[in-house]
Amino acid sequence: MPVKLIAIDVDGTLLDSTAQLPENNRRVLHEAAVHGIEIVLATGRSFHHTRELATQMPAQTVLILNNGSLVKDRTGLTLASHGLPAETARYIVNETRAAREG
C-alpha cells in the first residue's frame, strides 16, 4: 500500500536540538510532496510560533497546532478549530484563581 500521508511531530523530531530544520528533513518532505504525499505537522505550538517553519514546508502542508485544537494550512487559513467553550474556560480560570488564593 503506498504512503499517502506523513504526519510528524515538530519539536525533537522534525527539528534538531537547536530548533532548526535540518536540510535533509526539508528535502525529504519536499520530495514526498512532489510524489503526492500529504505532509502534516503536529505540534503543541501556536501558529505564531510555527509560522517560520511553515514557510519552509511544501505548499499543501497542513499544521495541527495548539495540541490539536487548531488546524491551519501553511498560509494561516483555519481549516478546523476545537476550542474550549467559553463557559468551560471561565470555570477553569475561576477554579485556578481560587486554588492560588486559597
The three-state secondary structure class of 48 is: coil
C-alpha 53/C-alpha 94 separation (Å) is 36
- Closest by CA to 49, choosing from 79, 70, 80, is 70
C-alpha 6/C-alpha 97 separation (Å) is 41
Indicate if 9 belongs to the active site: yes
C-alpha 72/C-alpha 61 separation (Å) is 9
Amino acid present at 83 = G
Catalytic residue among 9, 11, 16, 73: 9
Q: Active-site positions?
A: 9
